[in-house]
Chains A and B, each alone.
Chain A
Amino acid sequence: MKKLQVLGTGCSKCQKLAANTEAAAKAMGIEYELVKVTDINEIMEFGVMVTPALAVDGEVKVVGKVPDPEAIQDFLK
């Protein structure tokens, strides 16, 4: 199971990234757990200073951008 963590304090872009990530995972038919990380200190522990960001299994894949679901699929392979 892949752990998908959306890092952001909950603004519209963070929500969009979460939705796109979920859409990508569903389209690929993979097992996943989606977690929204909203605590700033926890976000900074990833080394991320710009949000939203997406981490897959603990590895930060994209920062400060909201890729579309097709692009996110590349991060989930």
Chain B
Amino acid sequence: MSDCCGTPKSNDAARSCCGGSGDKIVLLYACSGGANVAEISDKAARELMFGGCGTMFCLAGLGADIQGMVQTARDADLNLVVDGCPMDCAKNIFDRQGLTNYRQIKVTDLGIEKVKGIRCTQEQVDKVVAKAKEVLSNQE
């Protein structure tokens, strides 16, 4: 749960990390599927959240059409979607909900191969976090 009035307490710290965004509400979503790229997306989203770049939010809730969650995404200043692979599951959920206020990054676009049954590395997570910060900075 974010702090009252919009943004998590930790945001102040990472506004410097993301370039500063005032009271902007940034929500982060990971595809969190079964392959290594999904683990990377999940870990990257959590690192971004704990670094104060936004609030991680529930992609499953959007897919399940939970009304309050859809409205939360609709009213956010930016939703950053971290998909693992070209199936674009997270992006497709946003599209099906008619939400356009999002940016997508894709783990496999960063040269990381999708493989089942292996753990991700911190180096891979760092790569996605860096890309996400670049996208967030460009949204300022």
Chain A interface residues toward B at CB < 8 A: 8-14, 40, 43-44, 46-53, 55, 59-65
A-B contact count (CB 8 A): 75
Contact B25 A60 (CB under 8 A): no
Specify the chain B residue showing the minimal Cβ separation from A54: B71
Contact A60 B67 (CB under 8 A): yes
Specify the chain A residue showing the minimal Cβ separation from B1: A40
CA distance A38 to B99 in the complex (A): 28
Residues of A near B66 (CB, < 8 A) are: 47
Specify the chain B residue showing the minimal Cβ separation from A14: B4
Residues of B near A63 (CB, < 8 A) are: 68, 71-72, 74-76
28 A-B pairs within 8 Å (CB atoms) are namely: A8-B4, A8-B5, A9-B4, A11-B4, A13-B4, A14-B4, A48-B68, A48-B71, A49-B1, A49-B2, A49-B27, A49-B69, A50-B25, A50-B27, A50-B76, A51-B6, A52-B5, A53-B72, A59-B67, A60-B67, A60-B72, A62-B71, A63-B74, A64-B5, A64-B25, A64-B72, A64-B76, A65-B75
CA distance A59 to B67 in the complex (A): 7
Contact B2 A51 (CB under 8 A): yes
Output the least CB separation between B123 and chain A (Å).
30
CA distance A8 to B69 in the complex (A): 16
Contact partner, A50, options B55, B61, B67, Cβ 8 Å:
B55
Residues of B near A46 (CB, < 8 A) are: 68
B94 CB–A CB distance under 8 Å:
no
Q: Pick from A40, A51, A63 the residue with the most CB of B within 10 Å.
A: A63
Q: Kindly identify, within residues 98 to 122 of chain B, every residue whose CB is under 8 Å from any CB belonging to chain A.
A: none
Q: Kindly identify, within residues 23 to 50 of chain B, every residue whose CB is under 8 Å from any CB belonging to chain A.
A: 25, 27
Specify the chain B residue showing the minimal Cβ separation from A7: B68
Contact A50 B2 (CB under 8 A): yes
Contact A47 B72 (CB under 8 A): yes
Contact B75 A49 (CB under 8 A): no
Residues of A near B57 (CB, < 8 A) are: 49
Contact B6 A64 (CB under 8 A): yes
| Shortest 4 CB-CB contacts between residues of A and residues of B | A47-B68, A47-B69, A60-B68, A46-B68
